Amino acid sequence: MLADDVTVVIPTHNRIGYLNRALNSVLGRFEHIIIVDDGSKVAVGDAIRVSVGQSCSLFRNERAKGAAAARNLGCQRVVTEWILFLDDDDMIIPDAKNRYEVAIQSAPEVDVWFGGIPCRKCSSLLTPVLRSHLTRRNMPGGCSGVLMRKAVFDSVGGFDVAMYSMQDWDLWIRLFQQAKLSFLGVDVVAYEHGSPGKITHNLSSKYCGLRRLLWKHRGGGEAFSSSSFEGSAIITKRPALIVGEFAPPQRMAFFVVLHIPLA
């Protein structure tokens, strides 16, 4: 059974209320859970004492190193075949385990599973991740709900802790080059979009992350050259700012800021 052979890895930083909610969504459904406290100022261990020691283990960075480093630390402790990532402010839906099991049975050769479907035009059936899903934008999205084999995660060296943001997108690109990736075709996560401290609300970090991503993969050969990323853009929540990286065939990057009134 998948529940016995998967470890849920949850990084957390100063969000006890959200963490407890995330924990409740996986307790009793998965046998192995690892929480990594990334230098929280609150006593995470005290807050989840009932859960720790049952099916849940807690590790801690004494100082905050970022979600990428926290996930890497958690994954180092994983001994199961599969890793299931969950952000501390999101929740795994009740039927997710069954949906993963159906997918794995249908396509046992797949190494990485992403929830949902890449576009409305796609079938609701299992859809392989294509190059175009990763070069125009981060179609698979963030880490929550991503199920992958630990051996594959280890083979690419985990998350790049030098990235300001976009660590997930960078990892998907590296995985794409040597593993089989697929969309589940069904949702497995209930997302929280308004929690404090989300990197997606930090324009500066997102720009720095996107810039590093572009230059890191600009010489990646036929699959991921700089021209692959033309038109990639970040849209802020407010007021109405779009920051984009545009890379022509000459492999030059431009920082473009457009003020567009949004309704």
Query: Per-residue pLDDT for 192 more than 70?
Result: yes
Give the global pTM. Answer: 0.80
Dihedral pair phi/psi, residue 102, rounded to 5°: -60, -40
| Structure confidence by residue, pLDDT tens digits, 10-65 | 999 988 889 989 999 999 899 999 999 998 888 887 777 766 666 789 899 999 99
* 184 within domain boundaries: yes
Domain final position from 167, 190, 213: 190
Residues 213 and 177 in one domain: no
* 22 within domain boundaries: yes
* CATH assignment at residue 152: 3.90.550.10
* 48 within domain boundaries: yes
Residues 209 and 165 in one domain: no
Domain final position from 142, 160, 190: 190
- The pLDDT assigned to 116 comes to 77
Residues 181 and 211 in one domain: no
Who wins on pLDDT, 37 or 117? 37
* Confidence band for 9, pLDDT divided at 50, 70 and 90: very high
Gyration radius of the chain's alpha carbons: 18
- Asked, as a colleague might, if the bond just before 128 is cis with ω within 30 of 0, I would say no
Question: What sign does the CA torsion over 161, 163, 165, 168 have?
Answer: negative
For the chain, the domain total comes to 2
* Confidence band for 134, pLDDT divided at 50, 70 and 90: confident
Residues 109 and 183 in one domain: yes
- The pLDDT assigned to 209 comes to 75
Amino acid residing at 174: R
Residues 178 and 208 in one domain: no
* 195 within domain boundaries: no
| Structure confidence by residue, pLDDT tens digits, 221-238 | 444 544 455 444 443 333
Segments forming the whole domain that contains residue 111: 2-190
Residues 209 and 185 in one domain: no
- The pLDDT assigned to 51 comes to 63
- The pLDDT assigned to 55 comes to 74
| Structure confidence by residue, pLDDT tens digits, 57-98 | 989 999 999 999 999 999 999 999 999 999 999 999 999 999
Residues 235 and 168 in one domain: no
Residues 250 and 155 in one domain: no
